[in-house]
Structure 1
Amino acid sequence: MTELYGETVFGADHDLEAMRLDALSRMFDPVMRARLVQFARPGMRCLDVGAGLGRISGWLAEVCSEVIAVDRDTRLLADLHKVFPTVRVAEADITEDLAIGTFDIVHSRLVLMHLRDRTEVFHRLADLVAPGGWLVLGEAVEAPVLISPQASPFRQLMEKHWLTLESSIGTDGQWGYRYPDLLPEAGFVDIGVEMYQAPITSTSAAGQFFQLGFHHLRDRILADGHVDRETFDEAMKAMREPGFSDLSMGLVTAWARKPT
């Protein structure tokens, strides 16, 4: 059986999924907003693909004239219009053709890395950018730098959990590094790229995100044999210690303009 992100793994019906996505938003939204603020202008039409809880969609709506928040499962976006009435929520699958026109900003974060046909979807997103518009893509990559010793339980769990994501839903923890090549090949110009690693502590957004994510994946990770039960439990215990500190996965953000 082909498993998909948002269904058998990290489904919106999971009790803790909204909390995990809230932690992810607090972890990465400031970085993404700092980039999008350079491009967002009144009068623009924007598309937010894989909108999650709709935080970026809502922020764009405060600046731009039209925002469409797209997700394959919109249950967590049900109340977005109550806070941001100008945002239109659309339940759609980006792996299929979307007849929704073109946009001045097309944004996606932590979506393509989880798709097996990610290259095809990249080109589909590129086609949705209007001439003169911007494509802004963010992907998580396996932690470029970790502070914990190589043999520590936390480091083993952080490094090995990617194997479970890859074998279950096809996640590619290196995909974000391809954007500097893919964007010019697709005809984009004014290309930029940056990397950010959030701090993991017992109380930080990144710490909460990984504690919730590892908890969700626990049975799968143990069944795959990538770490044993003792290592997993010791890693989770370490992350709850007040003095714990390390770095999270990286966020590679790439942006580029389609020529007029």
Structure 2
Amino acid sequence: MTEIAELYGDALFAHDHDLEAVRLDAMTRMHDPATQARLQVIARPGMRCLDVGAGLGRVSGWLAEQVAPGQVTALDKDVRLLNALPDVYPSVQVVAADISDKTLDFGTFDLVHCRMVLMHLRNRIEVFQKLTQWVAPGGWIVLADAVHATMVSPPENPFRQLMERHWRTLEKSIGTDNSWAWQYPELLHEAGFVDVGVEMYQPPITMNSAAGRFWALNFGHLRDRILSDGYVDEELFEAAVGVMSEPGFTELSMGLVTAWARKKP
């Protein structure tokens, strides 16, 4: 019998988890400033947009305001956190679908946006190619994923050790690749896109920041998996959590690498 590989959202980060909406809210508040700044340069009234992995729908709703009277399709495998979105933004269509479904086809869009999705997919190259095909001639694609980036604390700091080692659990369990996003510029050039650009945003982690809230929730969610994998023992884990709650603690979060490009008319 073939073993079925675990996927993002099956157990880890499932939308029915008690605190998943809160975790996603913190991640959204952590990354939306960078995402909105980039999309604002591209979004124009009347555009047809696709937001892949819409999560809570914050980017989808914001895009609907930017491209009005255009349309936004908010796509997610699990839409239970998106169902109320069209009540607030009637121009947003919520679609429940798995981006990895080979039969999935929406036609083309003027703007395709995908954040924090492909890094968690084992078939990320195939999905990347699909997304590029959904961009209309002259249209734009904006892709963003997290990378493990430089931290300011010394190597022996327990928080830094937990941050570095938790990636191993994600890779082992759901296939996460925290270096994948560095390939975006090259991949977009190879796909024939022009006006390719890339930037990285690395928000601060403090006791009261959105990034601090996100990592407290993220590590809490992953605690049992990290400990059972043996990459971190309970003493180090608790020490890392304690460091996060110390007044004056500051660190740099994972980097959000965003790449954008235009398809030739």
Q: Structure 1 CA distance, aligned partners of 2:81 and 2:245?
A: 28
Alpha-carbon separation, structure 2, partners of 1:227 and 1:168: 15
For the pair 1:140 / 2:146, whether they are aligned, the reply is yes
1:158 aligns to 2:166 (yes or no) = no
Equivalences for residues 165-204 of structure 1 within 5 A: 165-204=170-209
Q: Distance in 1 between matches of 2:118 and 2:210?
A: 23
Instruction: Give matches, 1:20-31, under 5 Å.
Output: 20-31=23-34
Question: Residue 12 of structure 1 corresponds to which residue in structure 2?
Answer: 15
User: Which residue of 58, 83, 89 corresponds with 1:84?
Assistant: 89
1:257 aligns with 2:262: yes
**Paired residue for 1:131?**
137
Which letter does structure 1 place at the counterpart of 2:177? D
Runs of 4+ more than 3 Å apart: none
Residue 98 (str. 1) matches residue 101 (str. 2): no
State TM-score, norm by structure 2. 0.96
Deviation of 1:84 after TM superposition, in Å, equals 1.1
How far off is 1:83 after superposition?
1.5
2:95 is paired with a residue of what secondary structure?
A: strand
Task: Describe the SS at the equivalent of 1:75.
Answer: coil
Q: Paired residue for 2:250?
A: 245
Number of the residue aligned with 2:62: 59
What is the alpha-carbon distance in structure 1 between the residues aligned to residue 203 and residue 88 of structure 2? Answer: 28
What is the root-mean-square deviation of aligned Cα atoms in Å? 0.7
Percent identity of paired positions between Structure 1 and Structure 2 = 64
Match of 2:226 in 1: 221
Shift in Å, 1:205 = 0.3
1:141-168: CA deviation from partner (whole Å, max 9, x where unpaired): 01x2111110111010000000000000
Correspondence 1:47 to 2:50: yes
Aligned residues: 259
- Counterparts of 2:57 and 2:36 in 1: how far apart (Å)? 13
Q: CA deviation at 1:25?
A: 0.6
- 1:6 positional shift: 1.1
TM-score by length of 1: 0.98
More displaced, 64-73 or 74-83? 74-83
What is the deviation of 1:56? 0.5
DSSP 3-state at the match of 1:154: helix
Q: Distance in 2 between matches of 1:58 and 1:43?
A: 15
Instruction: State the Cα deviation string for residues 4-56 of structure 1 (Å, max 9, x = none).
Output: 11111100000010001000110001101100011111111000000000000
Amino acid at match of 1:192: G
Q: Secondary structure at 1:57's aligned position in 2?
A: helix
Instruction: Give the whole-Å Cα distance in 2 for the aligned partners of 1:235 and 1:83.
Output: 40
Instruction: Report the Cα offset of residue 240 of structure 1.
Output: 1.3
Partner AA of 2:35 in structure 1 = M
Q: SS of the residue aligned with 2:231?
A: coil
